[in-house]
Amino acid sequence: MPDDSVPKSAYELAMERLKKSDEAAGVTSTPVTKEQKAAIAEVRNFYEAKLAEQQVLHESTLRRVLEPEPREVIEQEYRRQRERLTSERDRKIEKIRKG
């Protein structure tokens, strides 16, 4: 029984449509090389460590502060730091993917 006669899942059909629309729009996908994969893994590991470090420091700071207002300020700063590190990581990964 050939593979063409097997019904496709909704996911497979959607992926085919997306590929066709990408081709029509002129979008090309290039596979990631081994060097790029290694560089991406290195960036992810670095930022994972940075995020873990920030979390430990954040929790340590929160243990020392009991008042609600300063705790809220600390929480906001922690969220900003996480967002900055995450966006920095994503930017670097995208730059590696583009070459």
Q: Where are the alpha helices (DSSP H) in 1-99?
A: 10-25, 34-64, 68-98
CA angle centred on 31, ends 98 and 92, rounded to 5°? 30
Ordered by start, the domain boundaries in the chain are 31-98
Q: What's the pLDDT tens digit per position in 40-84?
A: 999 999 999 999 999 999 999 999 999 999 999 999 999 999 999
Whether this prediction's pTM lies above 0.75 is answered by no
Contact 97, 32 (CB under 8 A): yes
- The confidence score (pLDDT) of residue 3 equals 60
What is the chain's mean pLDDT, rounded?
A: 91
